């Protein structure tokens, strides 16, 4: 099925509208995440005389969002089953708005760090809530597109802050960014709540109405009964504990799959690229202006992510991840070799001015085709209702820890040994990740959430954990 035919299918209209409205929240995260690429070098170089910052302080400013997201993940896990997916998401808009205003008037590194930290808390909450919401409202045929749109929104936000950040002051861009949480709040407030959540709270009439809106004119009685049965089975133990993520085999398998995807994604170097895009291009040299290179680089991300939205549901998650990881390994190894030749002042480097942008473009195209969006899709699919909130909280915390680690290790290795060392490390880590992905990650294309859970339970009946990977 072509992407265009999916988009214009009337039965999917409110699913797409809910996704677009929710994605405005994550757009703020992309802006916050990519903020350091244009502004850290400018502050360190004295472009803004009212603010002084060292390279070490800049590295901590860069990791503030992932440092804060575990706090937000805990908040999200606590709220999402109490006030609902929709209202938890809406609650983050005022906090994000307040922090963009604070960032506009900040005159110290402490205030900049604090504002980025609080936005990171809000986004940690959203990353716990929004994948769950989109996974639960979506039809299996378009669930990949809808949940992957979260990653697409992050990339778009990163592009916007880099484009405006190179040409406008912190004050101007921060005030402009205030529009994002405002738009999010006043569009998402009209969207329906997750039918899963409403059924879980025994609000069956509201769940039926929400499902009717989300499915258009389609008869929803069969799906309503299926959802009720699924929630009843998954919540047979009403006192489900956070330990069930690790003690129940199917949940442990789901967590293991996510850990594999998350580690491969983080150790492919995506966070250092987001935090230090301009720095990397300055170090690479090349024949293009570094600022223009950054914008081209990020536009390439957007194009690749747009293509990936369709390909994930057309070819499946697993083949896309495997193919993308192979190319990412090669690209990282090539760019590491380039930086090594540059470090030893090899004369051949004078003839390779075209290489950095070309190889980095290849990296970002394939990274976005597989590694950027697929883990987010799996995150919304793998866990059952009774532990989903806690599982997503743990997942976001785990992801944040390794975001901080990879960003800091990049800065340390780059400052101590040169740019080529972290890139060699990232390439090697992706090789290891590729082996585990081939062995352990299943396909979930065109399967309902209930079917995915049944397959996880069936595969987890195998007692040997190593066989559990090879059988699927």
Map out the domains of the chain as residue ranges: 12-191, 246-461
pLDDT tens-place string over residues 16-63: 999 999 999 989 888 988 888 888 888 888 888 888 888 788 878 888
Cα gap 454→443, rounded to integer Å: 13
- Identify the residue whose tokens are 């509208």: 17
3-state SS class at 464:
coil
Cα gap 399→358, rounded to integer Å: 29
pLDDT tens-place string over residues 179-196: 999 999 999 999 999 998
pLDDT of 7 reads: 45
Matching fold, domains 12-191 and 246-461: yes
More confident residue, 9 or 352: 352
**Topology of the domain comprising 246-461:** Growth Hormone; Chain: A; (1.20.1250)
Does position 1 have pLDDT exceeding 50, yes or no? no
pLDDT of 167 reads: 84
More confident residue, 285 or 99: 99
pLDDT tens-place string over residues 319-346: 989 999 999 999 999 988 988 888 888 8
The angle formed by the CA atoms of residues 437, 443 and 447, to the nearest 5 degrees, is 155
Among residues 433, 437, 466, 379, the alpha carbon closest in space to that of 129 is found at 379
> CATH number of the domain at 12-191, please?
1.20.1250.20
pLDDT of 278 reads: 61
Q: What are 188-191's contacts with CB under 8 Å, separation 24+?
A: 188/18, 188/21, 188/22, 188/24, 188/25, 188/86, 188/89, 188/90, 189/90, 190/21, 191/14, 191/17, 191/18, 191/21, 191/22, 191/86
Query: Residue 238: which pLDDT band, with cuts at 50, 70 and 90?
Result: low
Detail the DSSP E strand segments found in 199-326: none
pLDDT of 275 reads: 59
Q: What's the mean pLDDT in 100-107?
A: 91
Name, in order, each residue with C-beta under 8 angstroms of 279's C-beta and a sequence gap of 6 or more.
37, 40, 41
pLDDT of 6 reads: 47
Question: What distance, in Å, lies between the first and last C-alpha atoms of the chain?
Answer: 26
Name, in order, each residue with C-beta under 8 angstroms of 174's C-beta and a sequence gap of 6 or more.
100, 101, 103, 104
CB 84 within 8 A of CB 134: no
pTM, entire model = 0.72
Cα gap 322→437, rounded to integer Å: 7
Task: Residue count of the chain, please give it.
Answer: 472
């Amino acid at each position: 099925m072509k992407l265009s035919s999916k988009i214009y299918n009337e039965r999917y209209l409110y699913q797409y509208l809910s996704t677009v409205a929710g994605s405005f929240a994550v757009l703020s995260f992309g802006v916050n995440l990519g903020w350091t690429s244009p502004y850290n070098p400018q502050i360190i170089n004295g472009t803004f005389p009212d603010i002084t910052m060292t390279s070490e302080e800049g590295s901590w400013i860069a990791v503030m969002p992932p440092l804060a997201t575990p706090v937000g993940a805990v908040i999200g896990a606590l709220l999402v089953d109490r006030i609902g997916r929709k209202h938890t998401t809406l609650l983050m808009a005022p906090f994000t708005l307040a922090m963009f205003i604070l960032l506009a008037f900040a005159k110290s590194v402490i205030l900049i760090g604090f504002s980025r930290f609080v936005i990171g808390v809000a986004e940690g909450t959203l990353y716990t809530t929004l994948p769950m919401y989109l996974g639960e409202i979506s039809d299996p045929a378009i669930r990949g597109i809808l949940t992957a749109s979260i990653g697409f929104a992050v990339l778009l936000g990163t592009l916007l802050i880099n484009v405006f950040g190179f040409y406008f002051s912190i004050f101007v861009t921060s005030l402009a960014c205030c529009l994002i949480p405002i738009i999010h709040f006043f569009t998402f407030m009209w969207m329906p709540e997750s039918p899963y959540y409403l059924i879980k709270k025994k609000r069956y009439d509201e769940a039926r109405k929400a499902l009717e809106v989300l499915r258009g004119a389609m008869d929803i009685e069969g799906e309503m009964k299926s959802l009720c049965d699924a929630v009843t089975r998954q919540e047979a133990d009403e006192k489900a504990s956070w330990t069930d993520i690790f003690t129940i085999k199917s949940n442990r398998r789901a967590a293991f799959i996510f850990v594999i995807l998350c580690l491969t994604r983080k150790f492919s170097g995506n966070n250092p690229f987001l935090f230090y895009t301009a720095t990397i291009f300055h170090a690479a040299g090349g024949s293009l202006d570094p600022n223009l290179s950054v914008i081209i680089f990020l536009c390439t991300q957007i194009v690749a992510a747009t293509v990936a939205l369709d390909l994930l549901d057309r070819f499946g998650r697993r083949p896309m991840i495997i193919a993308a990881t192979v190319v990412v390994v090669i690209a990282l190894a090539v760019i590491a070799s380039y930086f090594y030749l540059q470090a030893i002042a090899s004369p051949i480097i004078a003839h390779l001015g075209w290489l950095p942008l070309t190889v980095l473009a290849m990296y970002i195209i394939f990274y976005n085709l597989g590694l950027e969006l697929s883990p987010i899709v799996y995150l919304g699919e793998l866990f059952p209702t009774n532990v989903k909130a806690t599982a997503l909280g743990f997942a976001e915390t785990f992801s944040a820890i390794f975001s901080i680690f990879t960003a800091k290790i990049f800065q340390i290795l780059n400052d101590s040994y040169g740019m080529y060392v972290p890139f060699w490390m990232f390439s090697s880590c992706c090789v290891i990740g590729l082996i585990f992905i081939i062995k352990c990650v299943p396909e979930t294309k065109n399967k309902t959430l209930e079917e995915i859970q049944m397959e996880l339970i069936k595969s987890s009946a195998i007692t040997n954990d190593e066989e559990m990977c090879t059988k699927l």
